[in-house]
Homo-oligomer: A and B are copies of this chain.
Amino acid sequence: MSLGEFGRIARYFAPLAGPGGLGLKDDAALLGCETGRRLVVTVDAMVAGVHFLPDDPPDLVARKLLRTNLSDLAAMGARPLYYLLATALPASCEDDWVARFAAGLGEDQRIFGVHLLGGDSVSTSGPAMFSLTAIGDVAEGAEIRRSGAKAGDKVWVSGTIGDAGLGLAVLKGRYPALAEEHRAALAARYRLPEPRTALGPKLAGIARAMIDVSDGLLADLGHICEASGVAATVMAAALPLSPAALAVEAGEPDLRARCATTGDDYELLFTAPADADVAIFAASREAGVVVTMIGAVTAGAGVRLLDAEGRAIAIGRAGYRHF
Protein backbone atom coordinates (compact mmCIF):
# COMPACT_ATOMS: atom_id res chain seq x y z
CA MET A 1 0.00 0.00 0.00
CA SER A 2 1.17 3.51 -0.80
CA LEU A 3 2.31 5.82 1.97
CA GLY A 4 -0.07 8.48 0.64
CA GLU A 5 0.57 12.20 0.40
CA PHE A 6 1.20 12.86 4.09
CA GLY A 7 3.27 9.72 4.53
CA ARG A 8 5.50 10.49 1.58
CA ILE A 9 6.06 14.05 2.76
CA ALA A 10 6.99 12.85 6.25
CA ARG A 11 9.20 10.00 5.04
CA TYR A 12 10.96 11.43 2.00
CA PHE A 13 10.67 15.20 1.93
CA ALA A 14 10.64 16.41 5.57
CA PRO A 15 14.27 15.24 6.03
CA LEU A 16 15.25 17.60 3.20
CA ALA A 17 13.76 20.67 4.91
CA GLY A 18 15.98 23.49 6.16
CA PRO A 19 15.28 25.54 9.33
CA GLY A 20 12.86 27.96 7.63
CA GLY A 21 10.88 25.04 6.22
CA LEU A 22 9.40 24.36 9.67
CA GLY A 23 9.65 20.61 8.98
CA LEU A 24 7.13 21.08 6.13
CA LYS A 25 4.52 20.98 8.89
CA ASP A 26 3.11 24.48 8.57
CA ASP A 27 1.05 26.38 6.01
CA ALA A 28 4.07 28.25 4.69
CA ALA A 29 7.81 28.65 5.18
CA LEU A 30 9.76 31.53 6.69
CA LEU A 31 12.88 33.17 5.36
CA GLY A 32 14.85 36.30 6.02
CA CYS A 33 17.07 38.41 3.83
CA GLU A 34 20.45 39.71 4.97
CA THR A 35 20.89 43.47 5.16
CA GLY A 36 22.26 44.83 1.89
CA ARG A 37 21.16 41.81 -0.12
CA ARG A 38 18.10 41.04 -2.21
CA LEU A 39 16.39 37.74 -2.82
CA VAL A 40 16.28 36.25 -6.31
CA VAL A 41 13.42 33.89 -7.19
CA THR A 42 12.75 31.69 -10.21
CA VAL A 43 10.42 28.83 -11.15
CA ASP A 44 10.75 26.03 -13.72
CA ALA A 45 8.43 23.16 -14.55
CA MET A 46 9.10 19.74 -16.09
CA VAL A 47 6.63 17.23 -17.56
CA ALA A 48 7.25 13.51 -18.18
CA GLY A 49 7.47 12.83 -21.90
CA VAL A 50 8.30 16.48 -22.67
CA HIS A 51 11.28 17.41 -20.48
CA PHE A 52 12.36 13.95 -19.41
CA LEU A 53 11.64 10.39 -20.42
CA PRO A 54 9.19 8.45 -18.22
CA ASP A 55 11.81 5.74 -17.60
CA ASP A 56 14.64 8.15 -16.77
CA PRO A 57 16.15 7.43 -13.35
CA PRO A 58 14.05 9.39 -10.81
CA ASP A 59 17.10 10.75 -8.99
CA LEU A 60 18.36 12.29 -12.24
CA VAL A 61 14.93 13.78 -13.01
CA ALA A 62 14.92 15.47 -9.61
CA ARG A 63 18.49 16.71 -9.92
CA LYS A 64 17.92 18.08 -13.44
CA LEU A 65 14.84 19.95 -12.22
CA LEU A 66 16.75 21.48 -9.30
CA ARG A 67 19.82 22.25 -11.39
CA THR A 68 17.97 24.06 -14.18
CA ASN A 69 16.56 26.38 -11.53
CA LEU A 70 19.93 26.88 -9.86
CA SER A 71 21.26 27.78 -13.32
CA ASP A 72 18.68 30.58 -13.55
CA LEU A 73 19.86 31.94 -10.20
CA ALA A 74 23.50 31.75 -11.34
CA ALA A 75 22.56 33.69 -14.48
CA MET A 76 21.47 36.59 -12.24
CA GLY A 77 24.78 36.43 -10.33
CA ALA A 78 22.94 35.02 -7.29
CA ARG A 79 24.04 32.32 -4.84
CA PRO A 80 21.46 29.54 -4.30
CA LEU A 81 19.79 29.13 -0.88
CA TYR A 82 16.40 27.38 -0.87
CA TYR A 83 13.73 25.77 -3.02
CA LEU A 84 10.05 24.78 -2.93
CA LEU A 85 8.64 21.86 -4.87
CA ALA A 86 5.20 20.96 -6.25
CA THR A 87 4.70 17.43 -7.55
CA ALA A 88 1.78 16.01 -9.54
CA LEU A 89 2.09 12.23 -9.75
CA PRO A 90 -0.09 9.60 -11.42
CA ALA A 91 -1.66 7.02 -9.08
CA SER A 92 0.59 4.39 -10.66
CA CYS A 93 3.71 6.11 -9.32
CA GLU A 94 5.16 3.96 -6.54
CA ASP A 95 6.71 4.98 -3.25
CA ASP A 96 10.07 3.66 -4.42
CA TRP A 97 10.07 6.10 -7.34
CA VAL A 98 9.38 8.98 -4.94
CA ALA A 99 12.07 7.72 -2.56
CA ARG A 100 14.66 7.75 -5.36
CA PHE A 101 13.46 11.17 -6.56
CA ALA A 102 13.92 12.57 -3.03
CA ALA A 103 17.32 10.89 -2.71
CA GLY A 104 18.45 12.76 -5.83
CA LEU A 105 17.34 16.04 -4.28
CA GLY A 106 19.19 15.18 -1.08
CA GLU A 107 22.41 14.52 -2.98
CA ASP A 108 22.23 17.83 -4.82
CA GLN A 109 21.32 19.69 -1.62
CA ARG A 110 24.69 18.60 -0.27
CA ILE A 111 26.52 19.55 -3.46
CA PHE A 112 24.95 22.99 -3.86
CA GLY A 113 24.24 23.88 -0.23
CA VAL A 114 20.49 24.44 -0.65
CA HIS A 115 17.49 23.29 1.42
CA LEU A 116 13.85 22.45 0.82
CA LEU A 117 11.48 25.11 2.24
CA GLY A 118 8.07 23.76 1.35
CA GLY A 119 5.95 22.04 -1.23
CA ASP A 120 2.70 20.55 -2.39
CA SER A 121 1.92 17.09 -3.68
CA VAL A 122 -1.16 16.34 -5.77
CA SER A 123 -2.40 13.53 -7.98
CA THR A 124 -2.90 13.69 -11.74
CA SER A 125 -4.50 11.52 -14.39
CA GLY A 126 -1.76 12.60 -16.81
CA PRO A 127 2.02 12.37 -16.92
CA ALA A 128 4.09 13.25 -13.85
CA MET A 129 4.82 16.94 -13.54
CA PHE A 130 7.09 18.92 -11.27
CA SER A 131 7.41 22.61 -10.59
CA LEU A 132 10.33 23.94 -8.58
CA THR A 133 10.77 27.45 -7.18
CA ALA A 134 14.37 28.31 -6.33
CA ILE A 135 15.42 31.21 -4.10
CA GLY A 136 18.86 32.74 -3.84
CA ASP A 137 20.33 36.11 -2.97
CA VAL A 138 22.65 38.72 -4.38
CA ALA A 139 24.18 41.94 -3.05
CA GLU A 140 21.80 44.84 -3.62
CA GLY A 141 22.40 46.34 -7.07
CA ALA A 142 24.84 43.58 -8.09
CA GLU A 143 22.30 41.42 -9.91
CA ILE A 144 23.19 40.76 -13.56
CA ARG A 145 20.24 41.29 -15.84
CA ARG A 146 19.73 40.57 -19.52
CA SER A 147 19.33 44.22 -20.39
CA GLY A 148 22.80 45.59 -19.58
CA ALA A 149 24.75 44.70 -22.75
CA LYS A 150 26.39 47.63 -24.58
CA ALA A 151 27.94 47.97 -28.04
CA GLY A 152 31.66 47.30 -27.69
CA ASP A 153 31.17 44.51 -25.11
CA LYS A 154 32.67 41.12 -25.78
CA VAL A 155 30.50 37.99 -25.63
CA TRP A 156 31.65 35.11 -23.43
CA VAL A 157 30.38 31.63 -22.59
CA SER A 158 31.34 29.13 -19.89
CA GLY A 159 32.18 25.45 -20.41
CA THR A 160 31.39 23.80 -23.74
CA ILE A 161 28.42 24.24 -26.06
CA GLY A 162 26.15 21.78 -27.86
CA ASP A 163 26.85 18.73 -25.70
CA ALA A 164 23.33 18.43 -24.31
CA GLY A 165 21.77 18.48 -27.76
CA LEU A 166 24.24 15.88 -28.99
CA GLY A 167 23.59 13.83 -25.85
CA LEU A 168 19.87 13.73 -26.61
CA ALA A 169 20.70 12.57 -30.16
CA VAL A 170 22.93 9.84 -28.73
CA LEU A 171 20.16 8.71 -26.36
CA LYS A 172 17.86 8.48 -29.39
CA GLY A 173 20.35 6.15 -31.13
CA ARG A 174 22.32 8.55 -33.32
CA TYR A 175 26.12 8.45 -33.72
CA PRO A 176 26.39 4.68 -33.12
CA ALA A 177 29.99 4.73 -34.43
CA LEU A 178 31.14 7.35 -31.91
CA ALA A 179 33.55 6.10 -29.22
CA GLU A 180 31.73 4.86 -26.14
CA GLU A 181 33.45 7.40 -23.84
CA HIS A 182 32.20 10.25 -26.04
CA ARG A 183 28.69 8.83 -26.20
CA ALA A 184 28.63 8.53 -22.42
CA ALA A 185 30.01 12.04 -21.91
CA LEU A 186 27.38 13.59 -24.21
CA ALA A 187 24.48 11.62 -22.68
CA ALA A 188 25.62 12.69 -19.21
CA ARG A 189 25.58 16.35 -20.23
CA TYR A 190 21.96 15.99 -21.39
CA ARG A 191 20.83 14.02 -18.35
CA LEU A 192 22.51 16.09 -15.66
CA PRO A 193 23.35 19.74 -16.31
CA GLU A 194 26.13 21.41 -14.34
CA PRO A 195 24.75 24.76 -13.22
CA ARG A 196 27.54 27.34 -12.90
CA THR A 197 26.63 28.33 -9.36
CA ALA A 198 30.23 29.09 -8.40
CA LEU A 199 30.98 31.22 -11.47
CA GLY A 200 27.74 33.22 -11.63
CA PRO A 201 28.14 35.18 -8.36
CA LYS A 202 31.81 35.89 -9.17
CA LEU A 203 30.76 37.68 -12.36
CA ALA A 204 28.70 40.24 -10.42
CA GLY A 205 30.32 43.61 -10.99
CA ILE A 206 32.12 42.28 -14.10
CA ALA A 207 29.49 41.04 -16.57
CA ARG A 208 27.04 43.62 -17.89
CA ALA A 209 24.39 41.16 -19.08
CA MET A 210 23.98 37.43 -18.48
CA ILE A 211 21.66 34.52 -19.26
CA ASP A 212 21.97 30.75 -19.05
CA VAL A 213 21.89 28.73 -22.26
CA SER A 214 18.60 26.85 -22.23
CA ASP A 215 16.88 27.70 -25.53
CA GLY A 216 20.19 27.57 -27.48
CA LEU A 217 23.23 29.86 -27.55
CA LEU A 218 22.07 32.07 -30.43
CA ALA A 219 18.47 32.26 -29.20
CA ASP A 220 19.60 33.14 -25.68
CA LEU A 221 22.05 35.72 -26.98
CA GLY A 222 19.07 37.07 -28.93
CA HIS A 223 17.20 37.48 -25.63
CA ILE A 224 20.10 39.57 -24.27
CA CYS A 225 20.23 41.66 -27.46
CA GLU A 226 16.51 42.27 -27.46
CA ALA A 227 16.46 43.27 -23.79
CA SER A 228 19.54 45.48 -24.23
CA GLY A 229 18.67 47.05 -27.61
CA VAL A 230 21.88 45.86 -29.27
CA ALA A 231 23.12 43.32 -31.86
CA ALA A 232 25.77 40.63 -31.51
CA THR A 233 28.04 38.50 -33.65
CA VAL A 234 29.42 35.11 -32.71
CA MET A 235 32.45 33.53 -34.40
CA ALA A 236 31.65 29.87 -35.11
CA ALA A 237 35.32 28.96 -34.91
CA ALA A 238 35.51 30.34 -31.37
CA LEU A 239 32.69 28.22 -29.96
CA PRO A 240 34.09 25.96 -27.24
CA LEU A 241 33.39 22.33 -28.13
CA SER A 242 34.03 19.33 -25.90
CA PRO A 243 36.32 16.48 -27.03
CA ALA A 244 33.17 14.45 -27.72
CA ALA A 245 31.62 17.22 -29.86
CA LEU A 246 34.93 17.64 -31.72
CA ALA A 247 34.83 13.91 -32.49
CA VAL A 248 31.32 14.33 -33.92
CA GLU A 249 32.43 17.40 -35.89
CA ALA A 250 35.08 15.32 -37.68
CA GLY A 251 32.26 13.64 -39.64
CA GLU A 252 29.80 16.54 -39.66
CA PRO A 253 31.45 19.80 -40.81
CA ASP A 254 28.46 22.08 -40.10
CA LEU A 255 28.16 20.91 -36.50
CA ARG A 256 29.05 24.26 -34.96
CA ALA A 257 25.90 25.94 -36.22
CA ARG A 258 23.90 23.13 -34.69
CA CYS A 259 25.74 23.39 -31.37
CA ALA A 260 24.88 27.09 -31.34
CA THR A 261 21.16 26.39 -31.68
CA THR A 262 20.48 23.32 -29.53
CA GLY A 263 19.49 24.03 -25.95
CA ASP A 264 19.83 22.63 -22.45
CA ASP A 265 23.55 23.34 -22.02
CA TYR A 266 22.98 25.50 -18.92
CA GLU A 267 26.25 27.32 -19.47
CA LEU A 268 26.50 31.01 -18.61
CA LEU A 269 26.44 33.37 -21.60
CA PHE A 270 27.44 36.92 -20.77
CA THR A 271 28.74 40.20 -22.13
CA ALA A 272 31.41 42.38 -20.53
CA PRO A 273 33.47 45.43 -21.45
CA ALA A 274 36.47 44.67 -23.66
CA ASP A 275 38.92 45.46 -20.84
CA ALA A 276 37.31 43.03 -18.39
CA ASP A 277 39.20 39.97 -19.63
CA VAL A 278 41.69 39.86 -16.75
CA ALA A 279 38.87 39.98 -14.16
CA ILE A 280 36.89 37.37 -16.10
CA PHE A 281 39.77 34.93 -16.24
CA ALA A 282 40.38 35.45 -12.52
CA ALA A 283 36.72 34.62 -11.79
CA SER A 284 36.97 31.62 -14.09
CA ARG A 285 40.04 30.32 -12.28
CA GLU A 286 38.50 30.81 -8.81
CA ALA A 287 35.31 29.02 -9.86
CA GLY A 288 37.18 26.26 -11.69
CA VAL A 289 35.12 26.80 -14.85
CA VAL A 290 36.62 27.54 -18.27
CA VAL A 291 35.27 30.62 -20.07
CA THR A 292 35.75 31.50 -23.74
CA MET A 293 35.39 34.77 -25.62
CA ILE A 294 33.18 34.00 -28.63
CA GLY A 295 32.01 37.30 -30.11
CA ALA A 296 31.13 40.95 -29.78
CA VAL A 297 28.19 43.26 -29.11
CA THR A 298 27.47 45.92 -31.72
CA ALA A 299 24.88 48.58 -32.41
CA GLY A 300 21.76 47.35 -34.19
CA ALA A 301 19.54 44.35 -33.65
CA GLY A 302 19.76 40.59 -34.11
CA VAL A 303 22.40 37.90 -33.72
CA ARG A 304 24.67 36.59 -36.48
CA LEU A 305 26.90 33.53 -36.51
CA LEU A 306 30.02 34.21 -38.63
CA ASP A 307 32.28 31.73 -40.40
CA ALA A 308 36.07 32.04 -40.56
CA GLU A 309 35.78 34.53 -43.44
CA GLY A 310 33.34 36.72 -41.51
CA ARG A 311 30.31 35.65 -43.58
CA ALA A 312 26.98 35.02 -41.83
CA ILE A 313 26.04 31.34 -41.52
CA ALA A 314 22.36 30.68 -42.30
CA ILE A 315 20.53 29.32 -39.26
CA GLY A 316 17.44 27.17 -39.79
CA ARG A 317 15.80 27.81 -36.48
CA ALA A 318 17.24 29.89 -33.70
CA GLY A 319 16.80 27.64 -30.74
CA TYR A 320 14.10 25.50 -29.33
CA ARG A 321 10.65 26.58 -28.18
CA HIS A 322 8.00 24.83 -26.13
CA PHE A 323 4.47 25.32 -27.37
Which residues of A pack against B, CB within 8 Å? 2, 4-6, 22, 25-33, 35, 38-47, 49-51, 72-73, 75-76, 78, 84-88, 91, 117-127, 129, 131, 133-136, 138, 140, 143, 145-147, 210-212, 223, 227, 321-323
A45 touches B135 (CB 8 A): no
Can you list 13 residue pairs at the A/B interface with Cβ under 8 Å? A27-B42, A27-B72, A28-B41, A28-B78, A29-B41, A30-B39, A32-B33, A35-B35, A47-B126, A49-B125, A84-B133, A91-B323, A129-B129
B120 touches A44 (CB 8 A): yes
B-side contacts of A27, CB under 8 Å: 42, 72-73, 75-76, 146, 210-212
B-side contacts of A223, CB under 8 Å: 25
B146 touches A41 (CB 8 A): no
B122 touches A45 (CB 8 A): yes
* In the complex with contacts A4-B321, A40-B29, A122-B47 CB distance below 8 A: yes
* In the complex with contacts A25-B146, A212-B27, A124-B131 CB distance below 8 A: no
Contact of A129 among B2, B84, B126, B146 (CB under 8 A): B126
A145 touches B22 (CB 8 A): yes
B88 touches A28 (CB 8 A): no
Docked CA distance A85–B22 (Å): 23
B76 touches A43 (CB 8 A): no
> Within the complex, what minimum Cβ distance (angstroms) separates A184 from chain B?
28
B28 touches A120 (CB 8 A): no
Docked CA distance A119–B84 (Å): 14
7 smallest beta-carbon distances between A and B, as pairs:
A126-B126, A131-B131, A28-B42, A33-B33, A86-B131, A45-B86, A27-B75
Docked CA distance A134–B123 (Å): 21
B-side contacts of A44, CB under 8 Å: 86, 120
Contact of A28 among B6, B29, B72 (CB under 8 A): B72
Contact of A26 among B86, B125, B145 (CB under 8 A): B145
> Within the complex, what minimum Cβ distance (angstroms) separates A180 from chain B?
33
> Within the complex, what minimum Cβ distance (angstroms) separates A130 from chain B?
9
* In the complex with contacts A125-B126, A126-B126, A127-B125, A43-B143 CB distance below 8 A: no
Docked CA distance A227–B25 (Å): 8
> Within the complex, what minimum Cβ distance (angstroms) separates A220 from chain B?
10
A26 touches B76 (CB 8 A): yes
Docked CA distance A199–B211 (Å): 41
* In the complex with contacts A47-B88, A50-B124, A76-B28 CB distance below 8 A: yes
Instruction: Select from chain B the residue with minimum beta-carbon distance to A143.
Output: B30
Contact of A124 among B26, B33, B126 (CB under 8 A): B126
A84 touches B120 (CB 8 A): no
